[in-house]
Each structure stands twice: as structure tokens, then as C-alpha cells.
Amino acid sequence: MGRTVPSVDERTETRTSTEGAWKVIVHNDPVNLMSYVVMVFRRVFGYSRQKAERHMMEVHEQGRSLLWSGEREVAESYVHTLHRWQLTATLEKDEEG
């Protein structure tokens, strides 16, 4: 006897983004060179040189910069990657997202 496959309407929907958006914030530190920070932003996020430099200057002048926002799992991955590059980064809930 054949196995009955449930219709799409009968399947349980998996929700991956129920928590809203999360922000990846990088913070200023006294250790890393500005050129190094720009290189990391370009490699990790694929930013153009101009965009990476803008974020680096924001970190330098304001102490932090919002680099990315979206699903929590992706944001956590970015934070982990930035930590591996020795940058100080945090994950924050986006109350607007």
C-alpha cells in the first residue's frame, strides 16, 4: 500500500523569523588599524571600499556602527565571524524590525 503524503495545507509550517530583526553592531577598539577594519568589512559583508570606509569612520568617530540587520541566525553568524577577525561585535534586537 502506498504512503499518503499530506497536502501543503496539512503540513506544519516552520517559522524561522518569528523573533523579528536583529542588528549586527561593531564597536570601536584601540587595537585594530583602520585599514584592517575596512578590509574585514569588505571580506565579511562584501562592502565596496567606500561603504566599508564609511562604516569604519562611524565606528572611529561614534564608537559603533550598524553593519547588518536581519534574521537572528544570520546575524549571529556575522557576529561570530567578526569575533574570529578579532573585532568587537554584538547582536542587538531591532525593536523596529
Buried b (16+ CB within 10 A) or exposed e, 43-71: ebbebeeeebbebbebbeeeeebebbbbb
Gap between the Cα atoms of 75 and 20, Å rounded: 12
More confident residue, 95 or 85: 85
Q: Are 94 and 19 contacting, i.e. CB atoms less than 8 angstroms apart?
A: no
Q: How many CA atoms lie within 13 A of 84 on its CB side?
A: 9
CB atoms near residue 7 (< 10 Å)? 7
pLDDT digits (tens, 9 = 90+) for 57-78: 999 999 999 999 999 999 999 9
Gap between the Cα atoms of 45 and 27, Å rounded: 16
pLDDT digits (tens, 9 = 90+) for 20-53: 899 999 999 989 999 999 999 999 999 999 999 9
Query: Whole-model pTM?
Result: 0.78
pLDDT, position 96 = 75
User: 567606500: which residue's cell?
Assistant: 50
